């Protein structure tokens, strides 16, 4: 913007020449509107004197004319000249910051602040100058920086995103991990905070489990009576016809306890003397079922008689840890009946 206001000041043309000829008529100092200036050297002006008006620094002229003349009745000619304050451009909000202003007129101020986690580089306030420019450009809001995260002994941090260099930005987080058998004790999350420091890191403490307990009717892969470290595992198995229920392996957990032990479940004997069973889709005479043994959770059926309808039907039963309950409806035939008339047993006649 140009320095447009300075010049148009005073011009008193032909002032001295008219003094003698226009006797008796003179003008007082003119009464001018706000912010209008004129370079007044004297109290009285002869008729014909012309005054050039201008606006005070920081104000611009609006309408006119910009000069007045003292007429021969001793009055100044009229002017509609107004001086209005200059405007600065509307101030911009800095990236990651806020701008506060009430107005953009000459002499008004604008204030700047930064978002949390950002620091202000530059001015925190600026004024609208007489030439319609702000006294300073908007500041920059730069992100708060932290050093790299503090790392506990036997530990590490996995940042939420890849970082480059040896500083981290406000808001960046990470998850702490410890090298087994050490376990994170404290808050596993860390973060670069608004004051430029990292949150307190957790500790890495060693965790061990007591020697594992043997299981009944089973064995384990390691019987040494030592402490086991976090993440160490041992295997279990069951003797003979026992069936494992649960996980084959237990693991020392970060709590210092083992994961749940499995249990060895006993096989069952089918408790009938004379009759046929249905097992794995086959009908077998119990006398031919050797060894008489089904495993934990196995399902085996025995046959019952529907007396009313004279038909037979299979009743499934399940072996649960050595127990196989023969249903009430099952009737064990007498030896004679079984030997001579086995064809009339519920398993042999028409099925219901
Ligand atoms: C406006 O005025 C200020 C202070 O007098 C000066 O530093 C700046 O250069 C001026 N700007 C223009 C565009 O004239
Ligand atoms: C700018 O900050 C000053 C000093 O804190 C305060 O007096 C003024 O009201 C603020 N102006 C605005 C527009 O917020
Ligand atoms: C960061 O790295 C730069 C160069 O790689 C080095 O000059 C500066 O001292 C380092 N700062 C810290 C805090 O390690």
Q: Ligand 2 mean position to 5 CA, how many Å?
A: 29
**Cβ(257) to ligand 3 under 6 A?**
no
Q: How far is the CA of 25 from the centre of ligand 3 (A)?
A: 84
Phi-psi region of 253 (alpha: psi -120 to 50; beta: other; left: phi over 0): beta
Q: Which atom of ligand 1 is closest in space to residue 135's alpha carbon?
A: 3
Tens digits of residue pLDDT in 25-80: 788 888 888 899 987 778 888 888 889 999 999 999 988 788 999 998 889 998 88
The pLDDT tens digits of the residues spanning 142-181 come to 999 999 999 999 999 999 999 999 999 999 999 999 998 8
What is d(CA 297, CA 58) in angstroms, rounded to the nearest whole number?
97
Tell me, yes or no, whether 136 and 153 share the same domain.
Answer: no
Of the bound ligands, which one is closest to the alpha carbon of residue 3?
Answer: 1
Question: Is residue 5 in a domain?
Answer: no
Do 221 and 282 lie in a common domain? Answer: no
Q: Which ligand is nearest to the CA of 130?
A: 1
Residue 150: inside a domain:
yes
List pocket residues of ligand 1, CB cut-off 6 Å: 1, 129, 131, 133
Closest atom of ligand 3 relative to the 166 alpha carbon: 1
Q: Which atom of ligand 2 is nearest to the CA of 110?
A: 13
Does 202 lie in the same domain as 161? yes
Contacts of 137 (CB under 8 A, 6+ apart): 122, 126
CB atoms within 10 A of CB 224: 9
Q: Do 21 and 78 share a structural domain?
A: yes
- Does residue 92 belong to any structural domain of this protein? no
Ligand 2 shell residues, CB under 6 Å: 100-102, 109, 111, 125
**Ligand 2 midpoint to CA 111 (Å):** 6
Q: Is residue 251 part of a domain?
A: yes
| Ligand 2 mean position, distance from CA 72 (Å) | 53
Residues 62, 107 within the same domain: no
Confidence of residue 24 (pLDDT cuts 50, 70, 90): low
CA of 125 to the centre of ligand 2 (A): 8
Give residue-wise pLDDT tens across range 196-253. 999 999 999 999 999 999 999 999 999 989 999 999 999 999 999 999 999 999 999 9
Residue nearest to atom 4 of ligand 2 (CA): 111
* Within-domain flag for 71: yes
Binding site membership of 166 for ligand 3 (Cβ less than 6 Å):
yes
Q: Are residues 108 and 161 in the same domain?
A: no
Pair 8, 54: CB distance under 8 Å: yes
82 to each of 35, 56, 92, 131, 174, how far by Cα in Å? 8, 11, 30, 18, 64
Bridge partners (DSSP) listed for residue 125:
111
In a domain, 303, yes or no: yes
152 and 199 part of one domain: yes
What are the tens digits of pLDDT across the range 65-112?
Answer: 889 999 988 899 988 899 999 999 999 999 999 999 999 999 999 999
Are 194 and 116 a contacting pair, CB within 8 Å?
Answer: yes
Residue 12 has pLDDT above 60, yes or no: no
Q: CATH number for the domain including 113?
A: 2.10.70.10
Q: Tell me the residue range of the domain where 70 lies.
A: 16-85
164 in ligand 3 pocket by Cβ < 6 Å?
Answer: no
Count structural domains, the chain: 5
Shared domain check, 302 and 246: no
Q: Is residue 310 part of a domain?
A: yes
316 lies in a domain? yes
């Amino acid at each position: 913007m140009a320095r447009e206001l300075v010049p148009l000041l005073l011009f008193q043309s032909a002032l001295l020449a008219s003094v003698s000829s226009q006797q008796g008529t003179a003008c007082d100092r003119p009464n001018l509107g706000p912010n209008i200036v004129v370079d007044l050297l004297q109290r009285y002006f002869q008729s014909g004197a012309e005054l050039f008006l201008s606006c005070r620094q920081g104000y611009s002229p609006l309408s006119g004319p910009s000069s007045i003349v003292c007429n021969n009745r001793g009055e100044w000619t009229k002017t509609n000249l107004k001086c209005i304050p200059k405007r600065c451009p509307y101030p911009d909000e800095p990236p990651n910051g806020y701008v506060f202003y009430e107005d953009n007129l000459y002499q008004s101020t604008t204030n700047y602040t930064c978002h949390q986690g950002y620091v202000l580089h530059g001015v925190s306030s600026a004024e609208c100058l007489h030439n319609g420019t702000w006294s300073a450009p908007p500041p920059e809001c730069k992100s708060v920086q932290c050093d790299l995260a503090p790392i506990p002994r036997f530990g590490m941090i996995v940042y939420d995103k890849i970082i480059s260099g040896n500083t981290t930005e406000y808001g960046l987080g990470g998850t702490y991990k410890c090298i087994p058998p050490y376990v994170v004790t404290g808050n596993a999350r860390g973060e670069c905070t608004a004051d430029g420091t990292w949150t307190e890191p957790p500790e890495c403490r060693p965790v061990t489990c007591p020697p594992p307990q043997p299981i009944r009717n089973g064995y384990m892969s390691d019987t040494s009576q030592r402490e086991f470290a976090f993440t160490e595992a041992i295997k279990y198995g069951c003797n003979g016809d026992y069936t494992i229920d649960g996980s084959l392996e237990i693991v020392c957990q970060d709590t210092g306890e083992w994961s749940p032990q499995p249990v060895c479940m006993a096989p069952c004997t089918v408790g009938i003397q004379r009759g046929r069973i249905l097992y794995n889709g086959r009908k077998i005479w119990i006398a031919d079922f050797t060894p008489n043994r089904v495993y934990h959770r196995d399902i085996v059926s025995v046959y019952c008689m529907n007396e009313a309808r004279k038909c037979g039907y299979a009743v499934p039963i399940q072996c649960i840890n050595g127990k196989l309950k023969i249903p009430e409806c099952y009737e064990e035939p007498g030896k004679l009946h079984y030997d001579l008339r086995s064809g009339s047993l519920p398993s042999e006649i028409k099925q219901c």
